[in-house]
Structure 1
Amino acid sequence: MLAILLAHACAALLAPLAVRVWGRRGFYPIALAPLAGLVWVLANWNSGAEVRITWAPEIHMNLDLRLDSLASIMAVLVLGVGALVLAYCAEYFDDDDRARLGIFAGYLVAFAGAMFGLVVSDNMLVLFTFWELTTVLSFLLVGHHAEQSTGRRAALQALLVTAAGGLAMLVGLVLLGQRCGSYLLSDVVARADPHDWSTNVAVVLILIGALSKSAIVPLHFWLPGAMIAPTPVSAYLHAAAMVKAGIYLVARLAPGLSEAPVWHPIVLTLGILSMLLAGLRSLQVYDLKLVLAFGTVSQLGFLLVLVGTGTPEAALAGAALLVAHALFKGCLFMVVGIIDHSAGTRDLRRLSGIGRRAPVLCAVAALAALSMAAIPPLFGFVAKESAFAAELDAGNLSPSVRIAVVIGIVLGSMFTVGYSARMVWGAFGTKRATAEDVPEPEPPWHRPSALFVAPPAVLAVASLAAGLASPWMDRLLSPYARTLGPLESHLGLWHGWGTPLTLTLIAIACGLVLFEIRDRIGESVNPRLGNADRVYDAVLRAMDQLSLRMTGATQRGSLPLNQGLILTTVVALPLVLLFIGARSRISVRAWDSSLQLVIALVMAAMALGATVMRNRLASVLLVGVTGYGCGVIFALHGAPDLALTQFLVETLTLVIFVLVLRKFSAEIEPSRTAALKVRRAILSAAVGAAVVIVAAFATAARSTDPIWHRIPPAAYSFGGGKNAVNVLLVDIRAWDTLGEISVLVVAATGVASLMFRSRRFGTLPRVSDAPGYTPDPDRAYWLRAGPLVAPRDRSMVMAMTTRMLFPTIMVLSVYFFFSGHNAPGGGFAGGLTAGLALVLRYLAGGRYELAEALPVDAGHVLGAGLVLSAGTATGSLLLGAPPLSSAIIEVTLPLLGHVKFVTAMLFDLGVYLIVVGLVLDVLRSLGARLDIEFLEGTTSSTKGRMR
């Protein structure tokens, strides 16, 4: 199973290249991935094969895969229809835009892999991960024509509805997993108490996700809208794969949860409503894809009723209909795609005479439609008759509910026959336009190739073969049904003349009557039906208005207001939670030494001084003193790494503050009212008190022995380093560091996007790029960009100091990097030191000097660092080791002697590069970019005075 998932992942990555090289014919080799998976599943049908890999046991997320009977059924549909759809794509698309087509191919085969992962997942959290992957990939596939507003709207609608349902489902899965003590679906089905109130809450939430995914009323409207997607997407996602995910989940949970009090009212009611409303709607639309889309919603409602009934007989009928629906609906969607491709329209009012010009295609469509209408000997008939029999004998339903369900599915089956006939007649019949019986003008038609017709023909023939071989199908499908109890029925073409056969014949006869009066149905009923799209739009508008009002009330562009709201939350929320819950006894020791007290008093005095200072720069410097004081306290506690990092960060922060303050006036405007000062003082005091209180209780809440004494030995034995802090960052807890440096990259991008509003400011200009500058070869300068610095900004002392200190600081930076594994330092400290060296060059010579110091785009440095760290994290996987595994290499070299190298240093090098890139990006944006703005502003004001 892992090999199948990996094959689909590789096929998705290689698909753009295959299509670029071979054009649309590249779909054929791509289809080999699901085809190979299909062969494996058939060879291991219902074998119970399992894969158990520990992944993240702390959050109950392990890679648990299981191929049981239900998973086998779904996997065959997903992989088999997927392979046929990929082959169909090779004839459906043109070679006009190979780049876009290659991306589409990658998305489609990735979707097939995600669906396979979904149906074989036994871990609920892994299942949810694959579930959301299908949601995202569906969004990308439906929005294939992103330049069309209708395509974007349909893709977004499908994403919002299914993702919202998925979030509700996630909460339900977590509730169910916690209640049952296991996140394995097989364990949950066996252990769940269907009468427990928390289990029922979880069931409701899970059903919301399942119903949204399977387009069940009232969450059905996204599926007809998604028909804007290319027909292969509709034939696969909206007939055989994605919309079946919700049905699959209901079928998976039914053996253990169908007795829950909330189960049948939701499943049976919404299933019958979907069957009736969508069946009626399919008799009113004129687009062939919409006819099939509403028919799909109707059939999904039917499936929901069957798999949700909770009896072995209904489960067998549901499994049979699951297979039958994938065969006939996938076939019909492909046929409609061929008609659209060959005739240029899907409007059944404009199509005429296609059956006469394409008899083979007409025969293929007729076979599939006959199966959909439950005409013998097609497999649809076998499934429909067994469904009637199962619901008539459903002993777990009360007699009144059983009668209502049977009446509902009979009425729904009547609509199914009606829209099946309407689809075949609309697509292939010869129509009459006037009372004089004049034939409707026939649209242009070019004959489809045999390879184009082959995929739907395979599905149609399979539907016929499955009907004729129904006893063999019974042996394949019945193991799932037996998971609900002893099975007393079987699939077959003939069970004698009884009530199920009578109901089938009644549905066929009444359905043909509905087909005859189809026009009157549309005229009389359509105005009375609501429009789900309008409801969806109204909900979105209401949410937009609510968000605008909330934003207007809380985000008015006022920094004090925003800070006040955030700080009020910081004060109120933790304290409320603290005092309404259990609290530990606290013991506070004010200080460990008199020096700590002195430093703390200085920090407090500087903080208070910063609040009363009128000069902005003075306030910033006083705040900086508090930061340096914090570094001193770290040093007093014996934490040199923390102290070094604090000093470096504080220095860099001061520089950034100074760069930003150039955009502000030198003096801070006094507060307008005394009341405002009082409110700010109260809030500040409350924040300080809240932080102290929460910190005191947090440190007192320790219930186990500390493990600090175990970290240094573990760092040396596990990571090969004596500096426990650095080993923790780049080895033991490197996942945290990887996330943090990713945040740094995002922060740098955010700063740059705020400053470079119109365009990205790439590599800084070099001295040679300066306009009107000609270097004097006979003259030496302390700085390369020295002549470009304005005389009023030039400082000989600064230039000389920079010339001498820059190499020294860079050497210190390299020393910090290499010594960090065994002494204070590391990639972060080394990167900050190198960043300060760049700051020095910038302050001495401006943007041209900065470019001479590091003539590389900051984005390239950031990207290289992230790629190096991420590559180091995943590189160990190639050797069969867990991610972020490190190796210790010890060699003896001439001159150097014994050298020990830890591969985690490569990860640390990525951290180093990211920090350097961040500083370079900040200097480029807050420094060089503002320099240009000041220069442009000065030039403009000078020109204004001259005028």
Structure 2
Amino acid sequence: MIVALLGLHVVVGAATLAFSRRLGRLGLVLGAVPMVAVVAWLLSAAGGVLDGRPVVGTLEWVPSLGLSLDVRVDAFTFLMLLIVSGTGTLVVAYAWSYFGRGPEAGRVAGLLTMFAGAMVGVVVADNLLFLYVCWELTSITSYLLIGIDDQKAEARAAATHALVVTAMGGLVMLAGLILLGQQAGTYSLSGLLSSPPSGTVTSVALVLILVGAFTKSAQYPFHSWLPGAMVAPTPISAYLHSAAMVKAGVYLVARLAPAFADTGMWRPLVVSVGLTTMIAGGLRAFRPFDLKQILAFGTISQLGFMMVLLGIGRPETTAAGCALLLAHALFKAALFMVVGVVDHQIHSRDIRELPQLGSGWTSIKVAAVVGAASMAAVPPLAGFISKEMAYGSLVDGTGGDRLVLVGIVVGSILTAAYSIRVAVALVGPAAVRTEEPAPLVAPSPAVAFVAPPVLLTAATVVLGTVPLVWSGLIDSASGALNQWSPTHGPHVHLALWHGVGPALVLSIVTLAMGSTVFALRRPFARWQAALAPRTTGAEVYDGVVARVLSGAGRITAVVQSGSLPVYVAVILATAAAAPTVALVTGGWWSGWPDAYGRIGQLPVAALMVVAAVAATLATRRFVAAVLLGTVGYGMAIFFVIQGAPDLALTQFSVETLSVVVFLLVLRKLPDRFEKPAPAMGQPLRIVVSLAAGAFVVVMALAASGARTAAPVSQEMVEQAYPKGYGHNIVNVILVDIRGIDTLGEITVLATAAIGIAALARSSAKPRRSGVEHHRREVGG
């Protein structure tokens, strides 16, 4: 069933894109169908999946490469699908009001559906190569979504930035997946996790995979693409950058961590990168004044938090990470939607310009406060429960765990501070007052526009006040990651009140310190500006791209010098050098062949050698062309001696035509050769020529000695008369056995002849100006 749902995303997305102009925003209704279908299927399969009975399926794709569409839905996949498809459904409903009757609604609907299908593929894939294919499809579709307004240079640049970073990480990850699959002897994700390989190769593979996960989930130092992606319309940001795409890297780390967290550099690398991202993202969220930029850096910080919890690979932190995955999707998607409503109605996201929202904005203000409060981990909301679980999972750990806890507390204090900043900007008094304030009338948003963020924040409240609603889901999801059955292993019980303990004290301290940081935001901002690095991640990316393009230009200037001798030398040298290693190490030598077949070949061979050497020494172009023709005629005589008159006749004809063409062209050139340029002097030409010639000889010997089966030509000789009714074997081969090949060659030659004739005819006619042509047409 899940394979059919994947196909439904592709079909509906493609159809919506194809008819986007006609459908308009009706395409959003069509695009929501696959997402709603996934949610409906999840509800129907919830009992079995959450009880530890995964749904599996397979569809053979390329068996010889180990590539098949293996899918597996366990409880953790269930959680991810609920986030991807549930949030996606609300985003599509939100986009209905956001885009209105604009022409881009249909395109956005089609691309969102295609992206959702790719994301579903990532989380259900049970084959590493299939996972990678879907992984890259999310990069491609996100590129198209971020750059949906392709008339803006800023949107095109941001889309390219995101694609370059995530695709680069994807290629590195592919190398890691292949190494891991080869080391494990299987590309099945579930099989690999049940019997994880070990060793140096596995450690290297895991580091490569982590690079791909870090780039996709915007971890430092690969984070710079995410703030730039905020140029996309808000529905796209609410989906891709809070609930879907940025969670892909976190998902992969969560899948692999229980099996590989103790391998090599996994835990130190994941924890250090995650904590750096959490703290640096939190600090950076204080600098911008654009609400989407603040939320973008907040998302980066929260992704680092999730990376730490799920990357440690222990049951307690895994359960806290699963709870944070769901809580973050709810409050961050809601906040993005709230900002989108404000931007849509007021046409500004700058917190210095926002007016005080009136009574018609009550629902939006409530949604903003609840979403920001959940992000800051204020009780009794889902964000508080997940944060307290995170504190509790580390507070009783080892010394290393307590160091990690300190980093998380620091990051959480920053999270609370920028959460207050967002809430105050949206519901507080107007940030800017002019001397003569002009009342700004902000039209109240429609109910359909407000409904999706309100539903998300309502879910945040319900999950926080009634933890039993999602306790079983988090318990099953973390159990699936740790490969526990529902009847064995420790269980997770979510609760709003666990009594007074270290986790609760840390939660209170976090909120108090976050409020203090916000109250001291001006001196804090000055301190941060003084210590902040002068170069941003986006500037580093721009510098790297500029240097790559500059280096490519310099290399192109060298290798594309405009000199035909240089081009030919590079081609010949490459052809001679590339297979040399294989020939030297392959054990191909089978002994020298006979020196000659018939005595008549010796004088002809001597003539060809003399002519070839003389051609290299000739100083006049005409003499060199004639000597080259002599070599070709010698080859035709070889065919005659070997008893192949048709081949000899063909060789004579081709060689004659070649010599004639040479001589016709040489009429336009100086009589003598020019002195070779220093870059391609005579000695270098001789070396390249000798190397290419020697390589051809060695290849001929290797090919003749490497044959493992009877040549097909022998069968052609035997079947020439019985099948082709001809004694002339060459003619039968050309006309009957390889007739289609001959037809293709004739077609190519005829096409080339027609093109040459047309060029010759057009160049022979004098060109008329447009005025002369007009006079000719009207008879003037």
Task: Tell me the secondary structure at the aligned position of residue 490 of structure 1.
Answer: coil
- Tell me, yes or no, if the aligned pair for 1:583 and 1:697 is still in contact at 8 Å: no
Match of 1:69 among 64, 70, 75: 75
Distance 2:42 2:671 in 1: 73
In 2, the alpha carbon distance for the partners of 1:596 and 1:75 equals 79
Q: SS of the counterpart of 1:351?
A: coil
Q: How does 1:226-265 map to 2 (within 5 A)?
A: 226-265=229-268
1:137 to 2:141 alignment:
yes
Name which of 310, 321, 339 aligns with 2:324.
Answer: 321
C-alpha distance in structure 2 between counterparts of 1:151 and 1:123, whole Å: 34
C-alpha displacement of 1:930: 5.6
Measured against aligned partners, the alpha-carbon deviations of 1:827-883 in whole angstroms (never above 9, x if no partner) come to x4323324444566x4xxxxxxxxxxxxxxxxxxxxxxxxxxxxxxxxxxxxxxxxx
Cα distance in 2, alignment partners of residues 664 and 95 from structure 1: 68
Partner of 2:63: 57
Higher relative contact order (CA 8 A, sep 6+): 2
> Aligned partners of 2:232 and 2:451: how far apart in 1?
22
- How far did 1:601 drift? 8.2
Paired residue for 1:823, among 737, 755, 758? 737
Code of the residue aligned with 2:285 in structure 1: it is S
Shift of 1:559: 2.4
Q: How does 1:562-577 map to 2 (within 5 A)?
A: 562-576=567-581
Q: In structure 2, what is the Cα distance between the partners aligned to 1:415 and 1:711?
A: 80
Deviation per CA, 1:297-320, whole angstroms, max 9, x where unpaired? 000000000000110111111111
Whether the aligned pair in 2 keeps the contact of 1:607 and 1:626 (CA below 8 Å) is: no
- Counterpart position of 1:174: 178
Question: Which sits farther off after the overlay, 930-939 or 566-575?
Answer: 930-939
**Cα offset, 1:536, TM superposition:** 1.8
- Deviation string 1:887-912 (CA, Å, 9 cap, x unpaired) is xxxxxxxxxxxxxxxxxxxxxxxxxx
Contact 2:629 2:655 survives alignment (8 Å): no
User: Which letter does structure 2 place at the counterpart of 1:935?
Assistant: K
Q: Which 10-residue stretch deviates more, 306-315 or 459-468?
A: 459-468
SS in 1 for 2:24: helix
Alignment of structure 1 residues 73-472 onto 2, 5 Å:
73-96=79-102, 98=103, 100-194=104-198, 196-354=199-357, 356-394=359-397, 399-431=398-430, 433=432, 443-472=440-469
Q: Percentage identity across aligned positions?
A: 36
Contact 2:608/2:631 (<8 A) preserved: no
Aligned-partner Cα distance in 1 for 2:206–2:366? 44
- CA separation of 1:477 and 1:674: change in aligned 2, threshold 3 A: closer
Mapping of residues 800-815 of structure 1, within 5 Å = none
Give the whole-Å Cα distance in 2 for the aligned partners of 1:595 and 1:190.
Answer: 71
Aligned to 1:30: 31
Which whole-Å deviations, capped at 9, do the CAs of 1:331-384 have from their partners, x for residues lacking one? 111111111000010001111212644001111222222221112222111111
Displacement after TM superposition at 1:440 (Å): 6.6
Distance 1:260 1:570, change over 3 A: same
- How do residues 763-802 of structure 1 correspond to structure 2 at under 5 angstroms? none
Q: Which amino acid aligns with 2:418?
A: Y
1:48: which partner in 2?
A: 54
2:774 aligns to what? Answer: none
Q: What is the root-mean-square deviation in Å for CA atoms of aligned residues?
A: 4.0
| Superposition TM-score, scaled by structure 2 size | 0.85
Return the letter of the residue paired with 1:63: L
Q: Hey, what's the Cα distance between the residues in 2 that align with 1:188 and 1:173? A: 11
Q: Deviations over 1:15-35 (max 9, x none)?
A: 135542342233112211211
Cα deviation for residue 519 of structure 1 reads 2.4
Q: Does the 8 Å contact 1:617/1:666 carry over to 2?
A: no
SS in 1 for 2:443: coil
Secondary structure class of the residue paired with 1:55: strand
Please give the alpha-carbon distance, in whole angstroms, between the structure 2 residues aligned to 1:630 and 1:495.
99
Task: Tell me the alpha carbon deviations over residues 409-449 of structure 1, each in whole angstroms, 9 at most, x when there is no partner.
Answer: 11111111111111111122213646xx9897554412222
Q: What is the aligned partner in structure 2 of residue 548 from structure 1?
A: 553
- The CA distance in 2 between the partners of 1:660 and 1:19, in whole Å, is 60
| Pair 1:198–1:936, CA change in 2 (3 A) | farther
Q: What is the DSSP-based 3-state SS (H/G/I as helix, E as strand, rest coil) of the residue aligned with 2:668?
A: coil
Structure 1: segments with no counterpart, 5+ residues: 717-721, 724-814, 843-922, 940-947
665, 687, 693: which is aligned to 2:698? 693
Are 1:282 and 1:295, in contact at CA under 8 Å, matched by a contact in 2? yes
Q: Which moved more, 1:444-453 or 1:499-508?
A: 444-453
Task: Report the Cα distance in structure 2 between the residues aligned to 1:596 and 1:84, rounded to whole angstroms.
Answer: 87
Question: Gaps (5+ residues) in structure 2?
Answer: 725-730, 770-780
Q: CA 1:709–1:143 in structure 2 vs 1: closer, same or farther (change >3 Å)? A: same
Instruction: Provide the C-alpha distance between the structure 1 equivalents of 2:660 and 2:767, rounded to a whole number of angstroms.
Output: 21
* Matches of 1:674 and 1:293, distance apart in 2: 57
CA distance in 2, matches of 1:257, 1:500: 28
What is the CA distance between 1:117 and its match in structure 2?
0.9
Q: Distance in 1 between matches of 2:308 and 2:250?
A: 10
The answer on 1:516 being equivalent to 2:523 is no
For 1:310, the aligned partner's letter is G
The change in CA–CA distance for 1:839 and 1:150 in structure 2 (over 3 A counts) is: closer
Structure 2 partner of 1:935 = 765
1:831/1:175 Cα in 2 relative to 1: closer, same or farther (>3 Å)? same
Distance 2:656 2:364 in 1: 72
Q: Secondary structure of the residue that 1:286 maps to in structure 2? A: coil
- For residue 551 of structure 1, what is the amino acid of its counterpart? T
How many Å apart are 1:296 and its aligned residue? 0.1
Structure 2 counterpart of 1:823, which letter? Answer: I
Q: What CA deviation, in whole Å up to 9, does each residue of 1:87-110 have, x standing for no partner?
A: 2222111434x3x54333322211
Q: Which moved more, 1:671-680 or 1:450-459?
A: 671-680
Q: Tell me: CA distance 1:938–1:28, structure 2 relative to 1, closer, same or farther (3 Å).
A: closer
Taking structure 1 as reference, are residues 666 and 320 closer, same or farther at Cα in structure 2, changes over 3 Å only?
Answer: same
Task: Please tell me whether the aligned partners of residues 392 and 403 of structure 1 are also in contact (alpha carbons under 8 angstroms).
Answer: yes
1:412–1:688 CA distance, 2 compared to 1 (3 A): same
Q: Distance in 2 between matches of 1:106 and 1:596?
A: 74
1:480 aligns with 2:477: yes
Q: 1:227 to 1:628 in 2, by over 3 A?
A: farther
Cα offsets for 1:137-173 (capped at 9, x unmatched): 1111111122222112111111111111111111111
1:550-577 deviation line (CA, Å, top 9, x unaligned):
3334332222223323433333443345
Q: Do structure 1's residue 525 and structure 2's residue 528 form an aligned pair? A: yes
CA distance in structure 2 between the aligned counterparts of 1:503 and 1:389, rounded to whole angstroms: 9
Deviations 1:737-787 (A, max 9, x none): xxxxxxxxxxxxxxxxxxxxxxxxxxxxxxxxxxxxxxxxxxxxxxxxxxx
- Greater mean deviation of Cα atoms: 542-551 or 343-352: 542-551
The one-letter code of the counterpart of 1:465 is V
Question: TM-score, length-normalised on structure 1?
Answer: 0.71
Q: Secondary structure at the match of 2:765?
A: helix
Q: Secondary structure at the match of 1:487?
A: coil
Query: What is the aligned partner in structure 1 of residue 494 from structure 2?
Result: 491
Cα deviation for residue 936 of structure 1 reads 4.2
C-alpha separation in 2, matches of 1:520 and 1:227 = 28
SS of match in other structure, 2:263: coil
Letter in structure 2 aligned against 1:364: A
Deviation (angstroms), 1:578: 4.3
Amino acid at match of 1:928: A
- Following the alignment from structure 2 to structure 1, what is the Cα–Cα distance between the partners of residues 699 and 70? 40
Contact 1:373 1:508 in 2 (8 A): yes
* 1:671 Cα deviation from its structure 2 partner: 4.1
